[in-house]
Each structure stands twice: as C-alpha cells, then as structure tokens.
Amino acid sequence: MATYTLNINGKKQEVDVDPSTPILWVLRDHLSLVGTKYGCGIAQCGACTIHLDGKATRSCILPISSIGEQKITTIEGLSENGDHPVQKAWLEVDVPQCGYCQAGQIMTASALLESNPNPSDEEIESAMNGNICRCGTYLRIRKAVKTAAKS
C-alpha cells in the first residue's frame, strides 16, 4: 500500500492503494467515479478511456504508480453541466443504445477534436476504431463527432 495524491477533474484526491492498481479501479472502487467503465482490462475495447494531460488513455492498464503529476479527466469532469460539445452532439444524434461503451467513446472523441478540430471521415473512423460498441452505434458515433466538430 502507498499513498498517492492525484489530480482528478481539477481536484486533488488522496488514495491509499497498492502501487500496481490501475487507475480504472482507483476511480471506480476508491473514488466512486464509476462513469469510467470496465470492458476488457487489456487495452482492447476503450470502455475505460480517460484523458491523461488531455490525451485519450486506457485506464485499465495504467498503474497508479505511473501517474505522477499528470492531470486526469474522466467523463464526470469533461464538463460542468454535461454541456461539452461532444456530449451535446451525442444527445442530439441520440447515439447510445445500452450506453455502456459511450463514456469511453465520448472521451476518445473529445480528445480527437481537441487535437484535430476538423477531422476527415477516415480520421474519425481511425481515431474511434479502438472503442468497441457491442450495440453497433458506430454510424451515429461518426455522425455525432462531425456534429460536434461543426459546433
């Protein structure tokens, strides 16, 4: 066990866990931030995507000991009132089916638009390709990314 101070969604949070604990489980089990989802645990599905210093990162294979000063943003901290352009576009297009993968999709999409505000169709598909949606909402995901890019 070791004590770590993390910067999550602009707030300092202290946790006492084993150094090998992935950020995914720190968020979910220790800080009750359950918006970040578990899907595979081996960096294959994207359900656990967070922003680490603004970059889309898989939290399921990211041990807490590797974080240091880097800033973590989760779906809960993406915007104050759920009004990030990507969240708004997701609602407008009515993307979710079961909804389980969508936090990860939104975190990947928002990081994409941060680095590339006007992605082409191919760039959207390739950026979103790491996020599995078992319900098959891929067409609306693409559409919502475009909607968000326009706004």
Residues that bind ligand FES (CB under 6 A): 38-41, 43-48, 58, 60, 96-102, 133-135, 137
- What lies within 8 Å, CB to CB, of 32 at 6+ separation is none
Q: Which does 94 bind (CB under 5 to 8 A by kind): other proteins, ligand FES, none?
A: other proteins
Closer CB to ligand FES, 39 or 119, in the complex: 39
Q: Which does 58 bind (CB under 5 to 8 A by kind): ligand FES, other proteins, none?
A: ligand FES
> Tokens 């240091």 appear where?
68
CB of 70 to ligand FES, least distance (A): 17
Binding other proteins by CB under 8 A: which of 48, 103, 113, 148? 103
CB of 68 to ligand FES, least distance (A): 20
For the segment 30-69, give every residue that binds other proteins (CB under 8 A).
30, 32-42, 44-45, 47
What distance in Å separates the CA atoms of residue 72 and residue 95, rounded to the nearest whole number?
25
- What lies within 8 Å, CB to CB, of 3 at 6+ separation is 14, 15, 16
Closer CB to other proteins, 16 or 69, in the complex: 16
50 SS3 class: strand
- Order of strands, sheet of 11-17, starting from the edge strand that comes earlier in the sequence: 11-17, 2-8, 71-73, 49-52, 55-58
| Span near other proteins by CB under 8 A; candidates 51-59, 70-78, 111-119 | 70-78
Q: Which does 21 bind (CB under 5 to 8 A by kind): ligand FES, other proteins, none?
A: other proteins
Q: What would the two tokens of residue 125 be?
A: 């598909």
Secondary element (H or E) of residue 3: strand 2-8
Binding other proteins by CB under 8 A: which of 65, 94, 116, 151? 94
Q: What would the two tokens of residue 116 be?
A: 């590339």
Q: What would the two tokens of residue 87 be?
A: 């969240």
